[in-house]
Amino acid sequence: MYVCNCNGIREREVRAAIEAGARRPAEIFRACDSTPRCARCVCDMRELLDEQAEALKFAAE
């Protein structure tokens, strides 16, 4: 599934960027060698970032 249609960034690429240390959408774009265009995907990226942060929180407990 595509998260960013402008740059063709898939969900798995976003998740890989997050696992590699990206903590903000700008860092995800950088990790994917892309730049924001319309920025409609930023909300979805933030949801994936929050999801990952929540998973790490549970893992730490």
Identity of the residue, 26 or 55, whose beta carbon is nearer to ligand FES in the bound complex: 26
CA distances from 23 to 36, 54, 60 (A): 16, 13, 18
| Cα 56 to Cα 17: distance, rounded to the nearest angstrom | 15
| Cα 16 to Cα 45: distance, rounded to the nearest angstrom | 12
**Site pattern 2..41 for ligand FES (x: CB under 6 A):** --xxxx----------------------------xxxxxx
Query: How many C-beta neighbours within 10 Å does residue 30 have?
Result: 13
Please state the closest distance from residue 59 (CB atom) to ligand FES, in A: 29
Identity of the residue, 16 or 36, whose beta carbon is nearer to ligand FES in the bound complex: 36
What does the binding site for ligand FES look like in residue numbers (CB under 6 A)? 4-7, 36-41
